[in-house]
Amino acid sequence: MKLITAYIQGPKLNDVKQELFRNGIYKMSVMTAMGCGQQLGYQENYRGVVEEVNLLKKIRIEIAVNDEFVKPTVDAIIAGARTGNIGDGKIFVQALEECIRIRTGETNTVAIG
């Protein structure tokens, strides 16, 4: 079992979701995130004062999958999120120790799917 975490551009969320659905991956958590990386920031002006904003608005997706789904999931996220420009985002894959479905008490591979 793996936990896949991806940071993507906000407007690409719909494309990523569509790619995931097309590959049979329907379960995910999505949240807003702020972050900085190679993309650098932008300037805001407020009442004559210029400020450099370097934390950009991003979207974070978390998907827990069984091992055979790792590659399709990663591929789908790339297919949906990639524009080729700096700022497209990153994907992290981590080992996942345990998973329990609250309603039934099922664990691990059964609970994830």
Compute the distance between CA of residue 89 and CA of residue 86 in angstroms, rounded to an integer: 8
| Residue closer to another protein, measured from CB, 45 or 104 | 45
Give Cα 60 to chain centroid, integer Å.
Answer: 4
Residues 7/78, Cβ–Cβ less than 8 Å: no
**Two tokens, residue 36:** 């900085």
Q: How far is the CB of 32 from another protein (least distance, A)?
A: 5
| Residue closer to another protein, measured from CB, 13 or 79 | 13
**Cα diameter, the chain:** 59
| Residue closer to another protein, measured from CB, 14 or 29 | 14
Residues that bind another protein (CB under 8 A): 10-11, 13-14, 32, 34, 42-46, 57, 59
Q: How far is the CB of 8 from another protein (least distance, A)?
A: 9
